[in-house]
Structure 1
């Protein structure tokens, strides 16, 4: 009997250690926009908390504007390597084109920003709902090679539907930039239409970083 008890305790301890740790970057459903800051590039995209599908989410509406919300973090990407979120878009951006500066607009994107000893070498992965770029493809941002655009969703096929996403940001960084990333500095969301002068609406659900699947 004692042996069975010890085995059970050992298994319980193992399961406890093996459980993934989650960092709630955007707990919109319980904390609203606490800790999030605004970054304005051109005009102000309207971000608001709304009820959708029985939960609190962030709604973004852009009309020729480009501003984002970001939250500062200090996390090791080798530990907190799994980024999870959900999103929905009302449509892709008309005239949006990831390969040109004039078309660098997206209905929804999530940035992961990595620190650097030299601030001008800060790197970022942009997980985008692409307009033309094929799902799974990645290219440098039209304005800077320090930001890579990775199409997690693409085109109009899944417009209007909530989609759950998961990315291994450590693996993505190694593939997109080579080498090893520094600390995760910030997570950001942005819906922008400043370059095309168009309109876009998106909804963002809770965002987490996790140590395991």
Structure 2
């Protein structure tokens, strides 16, 4: 005689509810955004004999004013964010510099650049939890993906940086001009394509605008910066 196991109906519902809850939890953990706020803790790197930009850190938004000026705003990332491999944001330009050749030192004005700074984990730990941007820019173990709104090249162009040598490349997302757009980048894929291999630690993010060479001005903003 066959033995038939019968479960109470409420137990079936409980089991189904638990399965759904686990599935939703997994889905949320996969797609959950990890916003990166713009706060006064971001530090500005200016340059001798050059006027600095003005930045307004407003949490979800960063306002940028560059009037015949140049400087870089930077934040180090905690180890809990080192594994981020993609990023998205919105940005807009209300006043633009003219098209320039971003490969030419001293003539490479642009509206916005966003730097993603990587290191191998051993070098990242040696650099400490709050390394200075200047030390990272000169560190032979650092690698930088620089996403740019500006220049005279088409979207998708990858350019040598006149300042970073083999440590960094400029990736053009928008040519010089005004407007507002969402962006999404695959940091891991771009890193592999440009530097070979996989990135290890995303140790910092920087933002800059540059208008001193053309004696013009930039009015721009970035919002909803998310790294995953």
Normalised-by-shorter TM-score class: 0.7 to 0.9
Listed as ranges, the gaps of 5+ residues in structure 1 are: none
Instruction: Give 2:94's aligned residue.
Output: 90
Is residue 73 of structure 2 the alignment partner of residue 69 of structure 1?
A: yes
Taking structure 2 as the reference length, the TM-score comes to 0.76
User: CA distance change for structure 1 residues 22 and 14 in 2, over 3 Å: closer, same or farther?
Assistant: same
Question: For residues 157 and 17 of structure 2, what CA distance do their matches in structure 1 show?
Answer: 46
CA-based RMSD of the aligned residues comes to 2.4
Per the alignment, do residues 76 and 115 of structure 1 end up closer, same or farther by CA in structure 2, a change over 3 Å counting?
Answer: farther
Larger displacement relative to structure 2 (78-87 or 142-151): 78-87
Q: How does 1:21-32 map to 2 (within 5 A)?
A: 21-26=32-37, 28=38
Looking at secondary structure, tell me which structure has more helix per residue: 2
Q: Quick check: 59-68 or 91-100, which moved more?
A: 91-100
SS at match of 2:227: strand
Aligned pairs, number: 198
Q: Compute the displacement of 1:96 (Å).
A: 1.9
Specify the SS of the correspondent of 1:134. Answer: coil
Distance 1:79 1:67, change over 3 A: same
| Cα separation, 1, equivalents of 2:52 and 2:117 | 21
Does residue 162 (structure 1) correspond to residue 180 (structure 2)? The answer is: yes
User: Which structure 2 residues correspond to residues 1-213 of structure 1 after superposition, within 5 A?
Assistant: 1=9, 2-19=11-28, 20-26=31-37, 28=38, 33-41=39-47, 42-49=50-57, 57-75=61-79, 79-116=83-120, 117=123, 119-143=139-163, 144-156=165-177, 159=178, 161-210=179-228
Rg larger for: 2
Shift, 1:78, TM fit: 8.1
Q: Secondary structure at the match of 2:77?
A: strand
Taking structure 1 as reference, are residues 196 and 36 closer, same or farther at Cα in structure 2, changes over 3 Å only?
same
Query: What SS is found at the alignment partner of 1:206?
Result: strand
Pair 99,75 (structure 1): closer, same or farther in 2 beyond 3 Å = same
